[in-house]
Structure 1
Amino acid sequence: MQLSGKTALVTGGTDGIGAQLIRQLRDKGVTVITSGRNPERCAATRADGFEVIEADLGTPQGVAALIAAVAGRTIDILVNNAGTSADHDFRNQDLPDLPTADAGIFLNLNAPIHLITALMPTLRSRPEAMIVNVTSGLAIAPRAGGPVYCATKAALRSYTQALRRQLRGSNIHVLEALPPVVETKMTAGRDNRKMPAAECARQFVAAMERNADEANVGLVKLLQVVHSISPKLARSVLIRF
Protein backbone atom coordinates (compact mmCIF):
# COMPACT_ATOMS: atom_id res chain seq x y z
CA MET A 1 0.00 0.00 0.00
CA GLN A 2 1.11 3.53 -0.73
CA LEU A 3 0.76 5.07 2.73
CA SER A 4 1.31 8.73 1.92
CA GLY A 5 -1.96 10.63 1.73
CA LYS A 6 -3.97 7.99 3.58
CA THR A 7 -5.98 8.51 6.77
CA ALA A 8 -5.63 5.88 9.50
CA LEU A 9 -7.55 5.16 12.69
CA VAL A 10 -5.15 3.48 15.13
CA THR A 11 -6.59 2.32 18.44
CA GLY A 12 -4.39 2.38 21.52
CA GLY A 13 -1.97 4.89 20.07
CA THR A 14 -1.06 6.71 23.28
CA ASP A 15 1.28 4.05 24.67
CA GLY A 16 3.47 1.10 23.79
CA ILE A 17 3.62 -0.18 20.23
CA GLY A 18 0.76 2.11 19.23
CA ALA A 19 2.62 5.24 20.29
CA GLN A 20 5.51 4.31 18.05
CA LEU A 21 3.24 3.21 15.23
CA ILE A 22 1.32 6.47 14.96
CA ARG A 23 4.58 8.43 14.77
CA GLN A 24 6.07 6.21 12.10
CA LEU A 25 2.85 6.36 10.08
CA ARG A 26 2.84 10.15 10.36
CA ASP A 27 6.44 10.17 9.10
CA LYS A 28 5.17 8.26 6.05
CA GLY A 29 2.63 10.99 5.26
CA VAL A 30 -0.39 9.37 6.93
CA THR A 31 -3.03 11.49 8.67
CA VAL A 32 -3.51 9.68 11.98
CA ILE A 33 -6.53 9.56 14.27
CA THR A 34 -5.90 7.60 17.44
CA SER A 35 -7.62 6.61 20.66
CA GLY A 36 -6.65 6.07 24.28
CA ARG A 37 -8.28 5.74 27.67
CA ASN A 38 -5.74 7.39 29.98
CA PRO A 39 -6.42 11.16 30.15
CA GLU A 40 -2.79 12.10 30.82
CA ARG A 41 -1.44 10.02 27.94
CA CYS A 42 -4.19 11.32 25.66
CA ALA A 43 -3.22 14.89 26.52
CA ALA A 44 0.47 14.20 25.92
CA THR A 45 -0.28 12.65 22.53
CA ARG A 46 -2.44 15.63 21.55
CA ALA A 47 0.41 17.91 22.55
CA ASP A 48 2.54 16.04 20.02
CA GLY A 49 0.12 17.07 17.27
CA PHE A 50 -2.18 14.05 17.01
CA GLU A 51 -5.95 13.90 16.97
CA VAL A 52 -6.86 11.75 19.97
CA ILE A 53 -10.29 10.41 20.89
CA GLU A 54 -10.56 9.45 24.54
CA ALA A 55 -12.49 6.17 24.77
CA ASP A 56 -12.27 3.00 26.87
CA LEU A 57 -12.56 0.24 24.27
CA GLY A 58 -12.94 -2.33 27.02
CA THR A 59 -16.59 -1.27 27.24
CA PRO A 60 -19.42 -1.18 24.68
CA GLN A 61 -19.94 2.49 25.53
CA GLY A 62 -16.32 3.32 24.72
CA VAL A 63 -16.46 1.55 21.38
CA ALA A 64 -19.72 3.31 20.53
CA ALA A 65 -18.16 6.67 21.45
CA LEU A 66 -15.19 6.06 19.14
CA ILE A 67 -17.46 4.98 16.28
CA ALA A 68 -19.60 8.09 16.76
CA ALA A 69 -16.53 10.33 16.85
CA VAL A 70 -15.30 9.15 13.44
CA ALA A 71 -18.72 8.89 11.78
CA GLY A 72 -18.62 10.47 8.34
CA ARG A 73 -14.82 10.67 8.30
CA THR A 74 -12.78 9.33 5.41
CA ILE A 75 -10.70 6.44 6.72
CA ASP A 76 -8.43 4.31 4.54
CA ILE A 77 -6.72 2.23 7.23
CA LEU A 78 -8.05 0.73 10.45
CA VAL A 79 -5.43 -0.59 12.89
CA ASN A 80 -6.90 -2.57 15.78
CA ASN A 81 -3.92 -2.23 18.08
CA ALA A 82 -5.43 -1.58 21.53
CA GLY A 83 -5.12 -4.58 23.84
CA THR A 84 -4.59 -5.68 27.40
CA SER A 85 -3.04 -8.63 29.19
CA ALA A 86 -5.55 -8.70 32.06
CA ASP A 87 -5.61 -12.37 32.99
CA HIS A 88 -5.78 -14.97 35.73
CA ASP A 89 -3.70 -17.89 36.94
CA PHE A 90 -5.29 -20.57 39.13
CA ARG A 91 -1.84 -21.65 40.31
CA ASN A 92 -2.12 -18.62 42.57
CA GLN A 93 -4.41 -18.78 45.57
CA ASP A 94 -6.47 -15.68 44.78
CA LEU A 95 -9.54 -16.03 42.58
CA PRO A 96 -9.46 -13.96 39.38
CA ASP A 97 -11.20 -10.63 38.95
CA LEU A 98 -13.80 -11.70 36.42
CA PRO A 99 -15.04 -8.19 35.53
CA THR A 100 -11.48 -7.24 34.61
CA ALA A 101 -11.14 -10.41 32.54
CA ASP A 102 -14.44 -9.66 30.81
CA ALA A 103 -13.25 -6.16 29.92
CA GLY A 104 -10.05 -7.66 28.52
CA ILE A 105 -12.03 -10.06 26.34
CA PHE A 106 -14.14 -7.18 25.04
CA LEU A 107 -11.11 -4.98 24.34
CA ASN A 108 -9.04 -7.67 22.63
CA LEU A 109 -11.77 -9.31 20.58
CA ASN A 110 -15.17 -7.60 20.56
CA ALA A 111 -13.88 -4.09 19.98
CA PRO A 112 -12.01 -4.94 16.74
CA ILE A 113 -15.06 -6.78 15.39
CA HIS A 114 -17.34 -3.83 16.23
CA LEU A 115 -14.96 -1.31 14.66
CA ILE A 116 -14.48 -3.35 11.50
CA THR A 117 -18.24 -3.71 11.12
CA ALA A 118 -18.90 -0.01 11.69
CA LEU A 119 -16.15 1.16 9.33
CA MET A 120 -16.68 -1.39 6.57
CA PRO A 121 -18.83 0.97 4.43
CA THR A 122 -16.21 3.74 4.42
CA LEU A 123 -13.37 1.27 3.84
CA ARG A 124 -15.26 -0.24 0.90
CA SER A 125 -15.70 3.24 -0.56
CA ARG A 126 -11.96 3.93 -0.76
CA PRO A 127 -9.84 3.10 -3.83
CA GLU A 128 -7.42 1.22 -1.57
CA ALA A 129 -8.00 0.29 2.08
CA MET A 130 -6.51 -1.88 4.79
CA ILE A 131 -7.48 -3.52 8.07
CA VAL A 132 -4.62 -4.36 10.43
CA ASN A 133 -5.40 -6.62 13.39
CA VAL A 134 -2.67 -6.88 16.00
CA THR A 135 -2.70 -10.34 17.54
CA SER A 136 0.37 -11.99 19.12
CA GLY A 137 2.78 -14.87 18.78
CA LEU A 138 0.69 -16.35 21.59
CA ALA A 139 -2.19 -16.63 19.12
CA ILE A 140 -0.21 -19.49 17.59
CA ALA A 141 0.65 -21.32 20.81
CA PRO A 142 -0.53 -20.31 24.31
CA ARG A 143 1.33 -19.95 27.57
CA ALA A 144 -0.12 -21.31 30.81
CA GLY A 145 0.10 -17.97 32.62
CA GLY A 146 -2.12 -16.10 30.16
CA PRO A 147 -5.16 -18.19 29.24
CA VAL A 148 -7.57 -15.30 28.65
CA TYR A 149 -5.11 -13.16 26.70
CA CYS A 150 -4.02 -16.12 24.56
CA ALA A 151 -7.62 -17.14 23.91
CA THR A 152 -8.62 -13.65 22.74
CA LYS A 153 -5.62 -13.31 20.46
CA ALA A 154 -6.16 -16.78 18.99
CA ALA A 155 -9.80 -15.87 18.37
CA LEU A 156 -8.81 -12.60 16.68
CA ARG A 157 -6.29 -14.50 14.54
CA SER A 158 -9.02 -16.90 13.40
CA TYR A 159 -11.40 -14.01 12.71
CA THR A 160 -8.70 -12.22 10.71
CA GLN A 161 -7.98 -15.23 8.53
CA ALA A 162 -11.68 -15.70 7.76
CA LEU A 163 -12.11 -11.97 7.10
CA ARG A 164 -9.19 -11.99 4.67
CA ARG A 165 -10.86 -14.79 2.74
CA GLN A 166 -14.17 -12.90 2.63
CA LEU A 167 -12.49 -9.76 1.29
CA ARG A 168 -10.22 -11.50 -1.18
CA GLY A 169 -10.27 -9.66 -4.50
CA SER A 170 -11.77 -6.51 -2.98
CA ASN A 171 -10.17 -3.13 -2.37
CA ILE A 172 -9.58 -3.99 1.31
CA HIS A 173 -6.39 -5.78 2.29
CA VAL A 174 -6.31 -7.61 5.64
CA LEU A 175 -3.02 -7.78 7.55
CA GLU A 176 -2.41 -9.67 10.78
CA ALA A 177 0.48 -8.30 12.86
CA LEU A 178 1.98 -10.78 15.33
CA PRO A 179 4.40 -9.13 17.76
CA PRO A 180 6.70 -10.98 20.15
CA VAL A 181 7.23 -9.80 23.74
CA VAL A 182 7.77 -6.06 23.35
CA GLU A 183 9.17 -3.52 25.81
CA THR A 184 5.97 -1.79 27.00
CA LYS A 185 4.18 -1.03 30.27
CA MET A 186 2.09 -4.17 29.70
CA THR A 187 5.19 -6.40 29.84
CA ALA A 188 6.94 -4.62 32.71
CA GLY A 189 8.35 -7.11 35.18
CA ARG A 190 8.76 -9.96 32.73
CA ASP A 191 12.21 -11.44 32.36
CA ASN A 192 11.80 -12.34 28.69
CA ARG A 193 14.00 -10.86 26.02
CA LYS A 194 11.95 -7.93 24.74
CA MET A 195 11.91 -6.13 21.41
CA PRO A 196 11.92 -2.32 21.44
CA ALA A 197 8.48 -0.96 20.57
CA ALA A 198 9.93 1.27 17.84
CA GLU A 199 11.41 -1.71 15.98
CA CYS A 200 8.17 -3.67 16.28
CA ALA A 201 6.24 -0.71 14.84
CA ARG A 202 8.76 -0.36 12.02
CA GLN A 203 8.15 -3.96 10.97
CA PHE A 204 4.39 -3.41 11.09
CA VAL A 205 4.71 -0.41 8.77
CA ALA A 206 6.98 -2.31 6.39
CA ALA A 207 4.41 -5.11 6.18
CA MET A 208 1.67 -2.57 5.44
CA GLU A 209 3.72 -1.08 2.62
CA ARG A 210 4.24 -4.45 0.95
CA ASN A 211 0.63 -5.62 1.44
CA ALA A 212 1.72 -8.65 3.46
CA ASP A 213 -0.89 -11.02 4.85
CA GLU A 214 1.08 -11.44 8.09
CA ALA A 215 3.79 -9.50 9.88
CA ASN A 216 5.62 -12.11 11.93
CA VAL A 217 7.90 -9.99 14.08
CA GLY A 218 11.08 -11.04 15.85
CA LEU A 219 10.94 -14.45 17.53
CA VAL A 220 7.45 -15.03 16.11
CA LYS A 221 9.19 -15.89 12.81
CA LEU A 222 10.95 -18.78 14.55
CA LEU A 223 7.74 -19.80 16.31
CA GLN A 224 5.95 -19.96 12.95
CA VAL A 225 8.67 -22.20 11.54
CA VAL A 226 8.54 -24.53 14.54
CA HIS A 227 4.73 -24.59 14.43
CA SER A 228 4.73 -25.43 10.71
CA ILE A 229 6.98 -28.44 11.41
CA SER A 230 5.38 -29.57 14.68
CA PRO A 231 2.43 -27.73 16.26
CA LYS A 232 2.78 -30.02 19.28
CA LEU A 233 6.39 -28.95 19.81
CA ALA A 234 5.49 -25.25 19.55
CA ARG A 235 2.72 -25.68 22.12
CA SER A 236 4.93 -27.67 24.47
CA VAL A 237 7.58 -24.95 24.49
CA LEU A 238 5.29 -22.00 25.26
CA ILE A 239 2.76 -23.69 27.55
CA ARG A 240 5.38 -23.87 30.32
CA PHE A 241 5.34 -20.12 30.82
Structure 2
Amino acid sequence: MPDSRIVIFEDSKHLRESLQIVLNGTPGFICTGAYHNCSDLLHRIEKDRPDTVLMDIEMPGMNGIEATRIIKASFPDVHVLIQTVFSEDAYIFDAICAGASGYILKTTSLTGYIEALQNVSSGGSPMTPGIARRVMELFRANMPERPTTEKVELTAKETAVLQQLVTGKSYKMIAAAMDLSLDTIKTHIRNIYLKLQVNSNTEAVARALRDKLV
Protein backbone atom coordinates (compact mmCIF):
# COMPACT_ATOMS: atom_id res chain seq x y z
CA MET A 1 0.00 0.00 0.00
CA PRO A 2 1.45 3.42 -0.93
CA ASP A 3 2.30 5.92 1.77
CA SER A 4 -0.44 8.36 2.74
CA ARG A 5 0.55 11.79 1.37
CA ILE A 6 0.15 14.67 3.83
CA VAL A 7 0.38 18.43 3.27
CA ILE A 8 0.66 20.78 6.26
CA PHE A 9 -0.59 24.35 6.50
CA GLU A 10 0.63 25.78 9.82
CA ASP A 11 2.05 29.23 10.59
CA SER A 12 4.07 28.08 13.62
CA LYS A 13 7.50 27.20 12.24
CA HIS A 14 8.33 24.97 15.20
CA LEU A 15 5.11 22.94 15.01
CA ARG A 16 5.20 22.77 11.22
CA GLU A 17 8.75 21.43 11.14
CA SER A 18 8.12 19.05 14.06
CA LEU A 19 5.10 17.56 12.31
CA GLN A 20 7.03 17.28 9.06
CA ILE A 21 9.86 15.38 10.76
CA VAL A 22 7.49 13.06 12.62
CA LEU A 23 5.42 12.29 9.51
CA ASN A 24 8.46 11.53 7.38
CA GLY A 25 9.77 9.27 10.12
CA THR A 26 6.51 7.33 10.50
CA PRO A 27 5.93 4.28 8.30
CA GLY A 28 2.91 4.75 6.06
CA PHE A 29 3.22 8.54 5.80
CA ILE A 30 5.08 11.05 3.67
CA CYS A 31 4.87 14.83 4.00
CA THR A 32 4.81 16.22 0.47
CA GLY A 33 4.53 19.89 1.46
CA ALA A 34 4.56 22.19 4.49
CA TYR A 35 3.52 25.85 4.28
CA HIS A 36 3.07 28.80 6.64
CA ASN A 37 0.05 30.20 4.81
CA CYS A 38 -2.52 29.34 2.14
CA SER A 39 -1.28 31.56 -0.66
CA ASP A 40 -1.37 29.83 -4.06
CA LEU A 41 -3.45 27.17 -2.36
CA LEU A 42 -4.85 25.22 -5.31
CA HIS A 43 -1.50 25.15 -7.13
CA ARG A 44 0.15 23.69 -4.04
CA ILE A 45 -2.54 21.03 -3.65
CA GLU A 46 -2.30 20.09 -7.32
CA LYS A 47 1.51 19.92 -7.13
CA ASP A 48 1.78 17.99 -3.84
CA ARG A 49 -1.19 15.63 -4.48
CA PRO A 50 -2.05 15.01 -0.80
CA ASP A 51 -4.44 12.40 0.48
CA THR A 52 -4.94 14.49 3.61
CA VAL A 53 -4.32 18.15 4.43
CA LEU A 54 -3.48 19.07 8.02
CA MET A 55 -4.95 22.56 8.25
CA ASP A 56 -4.50 25.29 10.87
CA ILE A 57 -7.38 27.77 11.25
CA GLU A 58 -5.58 31.00 12.07
CA MET A 59 -2.90 31.90 9.53
CA PRO A 60 -1.80 35.10 7.78
CA GLY A 61 -4.12 35.88 4.89
CA MET A 62 -6.70 33.22 4.13
CA ASN A 63 -7.90 31.31 7.18
CA GLY A 64 -8.07 27.54 7.37
CA ILE A 65 -11.86 27.29 7.21
CA GLU A 66 -12.06 29.18 3.92
CA ALA A 67 -9.08 27.16 2.64
CA THR A 68 -10.90 23.94 3.55
CA ARG A 69 -13.98 25.07 1.63
CA ILE A 70 -11.87 25.83 -1.46
CA ILE A 71 -9.95 22.54 -1.29
CA LYS A 72 -13.13 20.46 -0.97
CA ALA A 73 -14.76 22.30 -3.88
CA SER A 74 -11.82 21.61 -6.23
CA PHE A 75 -10.46 18.35 -4.77
CA PRO A 76 -13.42 16.59 -3.09
CA ASP A 77 -11.45 13.37 -2.47
CA VAL A 78 -8.80 15.16 -0.39
CA HIS A 79 -9.41 14.87 3.36
CA VAL A 80 -8.88 17.93 5.57
CA LEU A 81 -8.01 17.52 9.24
CA ILE A 82 -8.35 20.76 11.18
CA GLN A 83 -5.82 21.39 13.95
CA THR A 84 -6.22 24.51 16.03
CA VAL A 85 -6.12 26.13 19.45
CA PHE A 86 -9.81 27.06 19.13
CA SER A 87 -12.55 24.95 20.72
CA GLU A 88 -15.32 27.54 20.31
CA ASP A 89 -18.57 26.29 18.82
CA ALA A 90 -18.50 28.66 15.83
CA TYR A 91 -15.09 27.43 14.68
CA ILE A 92 -16.08 23.77 15.08
CA PHE A 93 -19.36 24.12 13.22
CA ASP A 94 -17.90 26.26 10.41
CA ALA A 95 -15.00 23.85 9.89
CA ILE A 96 -17.25 20.80 9.62
CA CYS A 97 -19.70 22.59 7.34
CA ALA A 98 -16.74 23.55 5.14
CA GLY A 99 -16.02 19.83 4.68
CA ALA A 100 -13.40 19.00 7.32
CA SER A 101 -13.05 15.29 8.08
CA GLY A 102 -11.92 15.85 11.66
CA TYR A 103 -11.07 18.50 14.25
CA ILE A 104 -8.26 18.22 16.80
CA LEU A 105 -6.72 20.69 19.20
CA LYS A 106 -3.05 21.63 19.20
CA THR A 107 -2.78 20.31 22.74
CA THR A 108 -2.84 16.88 21.05
CA SER A 109 0.45 14.99 21.34
CA LEU A 110 2.49 14.20 18.23
CA THR A 111 1.45 10.57 18.67
CA GLY A 112 -2.14 11.79 18.79
CA TYR A 113 -1.63 13.63 15.50
CA ILE A 114 -0.44 10.41 13.86
CA GLU A 115 -3.40 8.47 15.25
CA ALA A 116 -5.82 11.14 14.00
CA LEU A 117 -4.28 11.06 10.51
CA GLN A 118 -4.47 7.25 10.51
CA ASN A 119 -8.13 7.50 11.48
CA VAL A 120 -8.83 9.90 8.62
CA SER A 121 -7.04 7.59 6.19
CA SER A 122 -9.20 4.66 7.32
CA GLY A 123 -12.42 6.64 6.90
CA GLY A 124 -12.88 7.96 10.44
CA SER A 125 -13.65 11.46 11.67
CA PRO A 126 -11.25 12.01 14.58
CA MET A 127 -12.04 14.68 17.14
CA THR A 128 -10.31 15.70 20.33
CA PRO A 129 -12.21 14.28 23.34
CA GLY A 130 -15.00 16.68 24.27
CA ILE A 131 -15.35 18.07 20.75
CA ALA A 132 -17.54 15.20 19.49
CA ARG A 133 -20.31 15.87 22.01
CA ARG A 134 -20.28 19.56 21.16
CA VAL A 135 -20.54 18.67 17.48
CA MET A 136 -23.67 16.63 18.24
CA GLU A 137 -25.19 19.55 20.12
CA LEU A 138 -24.29 21.97 17.31
CA PHE A 139 -25.91 19.79 14.66
CA ARG A 140 -29.03 19.37 16.76
CA ALA A 141 -29.25 23.14 17.18
CA ASN A 142 -28.44 24.07 13.59
CA MET A 143 -29.88 21.26 11.45
CA PRO A 144 -33.65 21.71 11.16
CA GLU A 145 -35.75 18.59 10.97
CA ARG A 146 -37.11 17.96 7.51
CA PRO A 147 -40.35 16.20 6.84
CA THR A 148 -39.72 13.00 4.96
CA THR A 149 -41.97 10.36 3.54
CA GLU A 150 -39.20 7.82 3.20
CA LYS A 151 -38.67 5.56 6.18
CA VAL A 152 -35.08 4.58 6.89
CA GLU A 153 -34.87 0.92 7.84
CA LEU A 154 -31.59 0.36 9.68
CA THR A 155 -30.79 -2.96 11.30
CA ALA A 156 -29.97 -3.05 15.01
CA LYS A 157 -26.26 -3.44 14.19
CA GLU A 158 -26.35 -0.54 11.69
CA THR A 159 -28.06 1.66 14.27
CA ALA A 160 -25.40 0.76 16.82
CA VAL A 161 -22.62 1.57 14.32
CA LEU A 162 -24.29 4.88 13.47
CA GLN A 163 -24.48 5.73 17.16
CA GLN A 164 -20.74 5.12 17.42
CA LEU A 165 -20.12 7.34 14.37
CA VAL A 166 -22.09 10.14 16.02
CA THR A 167 -19.66 10.10 18.95
CA GLY A 168 -16.75 10.71 16.55
CA LYS A 169 -15.11 7.29 16.76
CA SER A 170 -12.94 5.95 13.95
CA TYR A 171 -13.75 2.69 12.17
CA LYS A 172 -11.08 0.87 14.20
CA MET A 173 -12.45 2.23 17.46
CA ILE A 174 -15.98 1.17 16.50
CA ALA A 175 -14.76 -2.31 15.61
CA ALA A 176 -13.05 -2.62 19.01
CA ALA A 177 -16.07 -1.26 20.91
CA MET A 178 -18.48 -3.63 19.16
CA ASP A 179 -16.10 -6.61 19.08
CA LEU A 180 -16.43 -6.89 15.29
CA SER A 181 -13.88 -7.01 12.50
CA LEU A 182 -12.90 -3.82 10.68
CA ASP A 183 -14.23 -5.26 7.41
CA THR A 184 -17.61 -5.94 9.04
CA ILE A 185 -17.78 -2.34 10.29
CA LYS A 186 -16.92 -1.03 6.82
CA THR A 187 -19.71 -3.18 5.35
CA HIS A 188 -22.22 -1.81 7.88
CA ILE A 189 -21.11 1.76 7.11
CA ARG A 190 -21.46 1.23 3.35
CA ASN A 191 -24.99 -0.01 3.97
CA ILE A 192 -25.72 2.97 6.21
CA TYR A 193 -24.50 5.39 3.53
CA LEU A 194 -26.69 3.67 0.95
CA LYS A 195 -29.81 3.73 3.11
CA LEU A 196 -29.31 7.33 4.26
CA GLN A 197 -28.29 8.45 0.74
CA VAL A 198 -25.11 10.13 2.01
CA ASN A 199 -21.46 9.99 0.99
CA SER A 200 -19.49 10.77 4.15
CA ASN A 201 -19.37 10.35 7.92
CA THR A 202 -20.26 13.99 8.46
CA GLU A 203 -23.35 13.72 6.26
CA ALA A 204 -24.37 10.49 8.00
CA VAL A 205 -24.03 12.11 11.44
CA ALA A 206 -25.98 15.18 10.31
CA ARG A 207 -28.78 13.01 8.90
CA ALA A 208 -28.85 10.83 12.00
CA LEU A 209 -29.20 13.82 14.30
CA ARG A 210 -31.61 15.74 12.11
CA ASP A 211 -33.96 12.77 11.62
CA LYS A 212 -33.44 11.42 15.17
CA LEU A 213 -32.24 8.04 13.96
CA VAL A 214 -30.10 7.47 17.07
**TM-score computed with the length of structure 1 as normaliser:** 0.31
| TM, length-normalised to structure 2 | 0.34
